[in-house]
Structure 1
Amino acid sequence: MKSDVTMNQRINTKTITKVGILGAVATVLMLLEFPLWFAPSFYELDFSEVPVLLGAFALGPAAGAMIELVKILINFVLSGTDTGGVGEFANFIIGCAFIVPAGFIYKRNKSFKTAILGLVVGTLTLALAGAFLNYYLLLPLYAKIYGYPIQAFIDMGNA
């Protein structure tokens, strides 16, 4: 009985350590942002989802969501926020919309085929969740925080 408890604690400690390390790597990658020359200045590309996705594939979807949370929290502490927390919230929710389905599908049968299927389903879920959340939650929150009409934010995205 005692060895079972010790084994579970070791697995949990290892998992927590891996989540922390992958979250830190994701944070560093999040700090390396590249502007998209064809889009408004607030659209930037970073590769911070790569370690989160690898963690979700290796450790499971729940660990992937925890890595996403660690990434957001460390970045929040290091960089603060320009969005009143709305951008960080959006990054977490939309990141999880990508990572969790991909992790669940891959966990079922770990193969190249299920990895690709997970990425496709995760991308579709991300797009649907992003559209829904932007329309019903995120744009109204930005409008409330900044005191601008919603159309002003839509116009910024279309510039």
Structure 2
Amino acid sequence: MKSNPTPQPILTQPYDLIGDIHGHAAPLEALLLKLGYAEAGSTWRHPEGRQIIFLGDYVDRGPAIRRVLQIVRGMVDAGDALAIMGNHEYNAILYHLPDGHGDYLRPRWEKNIKQHSATLTQFADHPDEWTDYLAWFANLPIWMDLGGLRTVHATWD
């Protein structure tokens, strides 16, 4: 019987991976605290220099989508986290992009309206902020290869 050696990690940075937050800021903040992160201005930092990799699906469903995006983007902008796009961010972009034929790339069907309703409701009084987040989503990678750790959100073909 042949044995394969255990692959040695190439990573020099310790990471914590978090996905599918879906607008639930309170559980996210509780998890960050449990993992040892502390709020520091507009970011959360770990005393040992760990970083979060956010795996997408920040929007839709939950009661605090704006707060989730403030946390995620704040950490990314401060260098305390990395983030990739999930299918919900991708769908949000398409929901707002005209298709050139009088509709949108993500049609305004009942199911799609329902999916985005919590997000759109929470940003109703903050349209410029929402536009800025859509542009930020469009610049998120759909995968990362960190040399020993590859990340991607599910459902990509």
Instruction: Give TM-score, length-normalised by structure 2.
Output: 0.26
Give the helix-richer structure, 1 or 2.
1
Higher relative contact order (CA 8 A, sep 6+): 2
* Structure with a larger share of its residues in strand: 2
Give the TM-score taking structure 1 as reference length: 0.26
